[in-house]
Amino acid sequence: NVTIKINGVETSVPAGTTILEAAHMANIEIPTLCFMKEINAIGACRICMVEANEGRGNRLVAACVYPVSPNMQIFTNTPRVLEARKRTLELMLSTHERNCLSCVRSGNCELQQLAKDLGVEDAGIYDGVTNHYEIDGTAAHMIRDNNKCILCRRCVAACGITQSVGVIGANERGFKTFIGSAFDMGLGETSCVSCGQCIAVCPTGALAEKDSTSEVLAAIADPSKHVIVQTAPAVRAGLGECFGYPIGTDVEGKMVAALRRLGFDKVFDTDFAADLTIMEEGTEFIDRLQNGGKLPLITSCSPGWIKFCEHYYPDMTENLSSCKSPQQMFGAVAKSYYAEKMGIDPKDMVVVSVMPCTAKKFEIGRDDQAANGVPDVDIALTTRELGRMIQRAGINFQALLDEEFDMPLGLSTGAGVIFGATGGVMEAALRTVVEVLEKKELPSLDFQEVRGMEGIKEATYNVAGTDVKLAVASGLANARMLLDKVNSGEADYHFIEIMGCPGGCINGGGQPHVSPAERNFGDYRAKRASVLYSNDAAKAVRKSHENAGVKELYDTYLEKPGSHKAHQLLHTTYVK
């Protein structure tokens, strides 16, 4: 350890710690714009400047990359520091489109917050020549507005390092630098996988999901339409953050109440379809295991992962489960089974989904996702869009009393809800597959080995005399690492779960933005995941094959998992 002084107060921190980390340990948050721990430590934006004295007088240094040294004196709050940050911010603002009133990030924009904290007036003192960029709306899920970009390169790091996709980078140089794709192609023309991790880390309104909220309002206002909504597992673990609740607050009941007040005809749960997925995918796994099918079986519910597999590992598409994602299974069942029950023509139904995910906006338009001759799902919203809709409708979210999902597509088990955290699909599948193969009840339903936020997890379970080898990866760079091990023969598994976003859907690209301090030093992913595991633990029924609604669906409509009708509605194909 080394002893240092921060603002005159002595403290001891491990050698090699950066000033930013040391200050965080001493409960002082130094503002950052470009910094992302371990993946974007480039010291580029110069917002984190502090004064450091190592015996040669006070010097301004970038706290995010400058390591502490013995007896260093650090000053984070002097007039010189604040003035330096203010100047830098003014320079950034001089080329930033400042129409904050209508910006989607107004209220939680990091640049706006800094301007407020540092007392920067919108005086335009450095105004002069600016660049003007066309908005890129070519991708199905998002827009890029480079007029609001501050060139922090967080999106570039998220895309290239966290996800190992790397379809964006800095084009041109100097004053003309802008972030875009190679040859300035539209994002929709590249092999972007739509994960939205770039949006999640963007400090400003330069990157945002395509907003579909007015389409939803128009459908609700149309009396000829029966408009139903489904909510993904992870939404209940994130939505509260839009309304000031601490990270890790379960707002399932208030969310249902709010959706009803927005005017949806029925409020259903994607968790129902997650249980259904387990029935289909579990059956597929047992079949492949016992009949020499292609192994490892790899989960198929994360559309960012699917697109990644198709683009970067086309030879492995045969390993993918043929199951549609729960979002799509839900839509297919809603527009067949439920529509018939209700006597509604599926053409008069609008299925809206609320997802923590931006790739779901892409998934709804994929080929072979319209089992009933109409799209399985019509509109996919992110958690953030739902937050905005509730806000705009004047619904006092905090004051709402908890309400329950509608039936029959609102019934779910604990296995369904844990889908939203990395390892959750695997655990849910194990609860069913092990019981089916061993023909007896599991003594414990908790498969701890596949829980937790590590990027890659492995476990082996002896099931009915066979050692079943499993792996779980979240985040596409981790997925790439795992698949390369499988391809090289270094590892062999029977079953792999892959989720496109690090930590799983709880950290999806459509979840509420978190502060830089939380993103860099907090455990927001684990806090959100804990909501799902607590929700699971509190449920009376925790195994998908015991979901009474799913059982009834099979008994009265689908016949059995893997049936012809189940295949027609619930399974899909992939492109190489």
What number of chain residues touch ligand HC0 (CB under 6 A)? 21
Residue 502 binding ligand HC0, by CB under 6 A:
no
Three-state secondary structure call for residue 11: strand
Helix %, strand %, coil % of the chain (to 5): 45, 15, 40
* 94's tokens: 């001089």
Q: Please, which residue, 157 or 276, has the CB nearer to ligand HC0?
A: 276
- Contact between 533 and ligand HC0 by CB under 6 A: the answer reads no
Q: Tell me whether residue 168 or residue 429 sits nearer to ligand HC0 (CB atom).
A: 429
Going by the DSSP 8-state scheme, the letter that residue 252 receives in this structure is H
Binding region for ligand HC0 (CB under 6 A) out of 129-137, 228-236, 239-247, 250-258: 228-236
Residues 419-458 that bind ligand HC0 (CB under 6 A): 419-420, 425
- H/E run at residue 297: strand 297-298
**Which residues pair with residue 266 across a beta bridge?**
228
301 part of the interface to ligand HC0, by CB under 6 A: yes
Stretch that binds ligand HC0, among 16-24, 50-58, 186-194, 231-239 (CB under 6 A): 231-239
* Residues paired with residue 499 on neighbouring β-strands, in sequence order: 474
Say how many C-beta atoms besides its own lie within 10 A of residue 508's C-beta. 31
* Segment interacting with ligand HC0, rule: CB under 6 A, options 312-320, 325-333, 364-372, 440-448: 325-333
Closest to 570 (Cα-Cα) out of 334, 382, 268: 334
| DSSP assignment of 452-497 | SS-SEEEEEEEETTEEEEEEEEESHHHHHHHHHHHHHTS---SEEE
Using rule CB under 6 A, residue 473 touches ligand HC0: no
In the complex with ligand HC0, the residue whose CB is nearer, 66 or 338, is 338
Choice from 85, 360, 431, 542 touching ligand HC0 (CB under 6 A): 360
* Span 2-41, contacts to ligand HC0 by CB under 6 A: none
Q: With binding defined as CB under 6 A, does residue 338 bind ligand HC0?
A: no
Alpha carbons 41 and 34: distance in angstroms, whole number: 8
State the Rg of the chain over Cα: 25
Candidate ranges 176-184, 199-207, 350-358, 453-461; the one touching ligand HC0 (CB under 6 A)? 350-358
Q: Tell me the torsion sign for CA atoms 565, 266, 359, 301.
A: negative
- Kind of pairing between the strands at 73-75 and 49-53: antiparallel
Tokens of 332: 């297919």
C-beta of 303: minimal distance to ligand HC0 in Å? 7
Report d(CA 58, CA 360) in Å as an integer: 51
544 vs 438: CA distance, rounded Å: 16
Q: Does 475 bind ligand HC0 (CB under 6 A)?
A: no
303, 568 in Cβ contact below 8 A? no
153 or 513: whose CB is closer to ligand HC0? 513
- In the complex with ligand HC0, the residue whose CB is nearer, 92 or 380, is 380
Give the range of 320-328, 333-341, 369-377, 383-391 binding ligand HC0 by CB under 6 A: 320-328
Find the farthest-apart pair of alpha carbons in the chain and give their distance in angstroms, rounded: 81
Q: Is 504 in the site for ligand HC0 (CB under 6 A)?
A: yes
**Is residue 232 a contact residue for ligand HC0 (CB under 6 A)?**
yes
Measured from the CB of residue 461, what is the shortest distance to ligand HC0 in angstroms?
21
Q: Is 375 in the site for ligand HC0 (CB under 6 A)?
A: no
For ligand HC0, the closer CB: 100 or 499 = 499
CB of residue 196 to ligand HC0, shortest distance in Å:
10
Residue 185 burial class via C-beta count within 10 angstroms: exposed 0-12, middle 13-18, buried 19 and up: middle
Tell which residue, 344, 336, 269, has the closest CA to residue 568.
336
Residue range at the interface with ligand HC0 (CB under 6 A); choices 118-126, 319-327, 455-463, 484-492: 319-327
Compare residues 11 and 358 and give the one whose CB is closer to ligand HC0: 358
- CA gap 100, 77 in Å, rounded: 27
- Of the residues 190, 302, 520, 535, which one makes contact with ligand HC0 according to CB under 6 A: 302
Q: Where are the alpha helices (DSSP H) in 95-201?
A: 110-118, 154-157, 197-201
Q: Which of 270, 321, 372, 511 binds ligand HC0 (CB under 6 A)?
A: 270
DSSP run (H or E) holding 532: helix 524-537
Q: Which residue has the tokens 């709880």?
A: 506
Stretch that binds ligand HC0, among 41-49, 138-146, 203-211, 323-331 (CB under 6 A): 323-331
Using the rule CB under 6 A, is 234 a contact of ligand HC0? Answer: yes
| Residue 424 CB-half CA count within 13 A | 36
Window contacting ligand HC0 (CB under 6 A); options: 232-240, 338-346, 457-465, 548-556:
232-240
Q: Cβ closer to ligand HC0: 218 or 407?
A: 407
Q: Which residues bind ligand HC0 (CB under 6 A)?
A: 232-234, 270, 274, 301-302, 325-327, 355-357, 360, 419-420, 425, 499, 504-505, 508
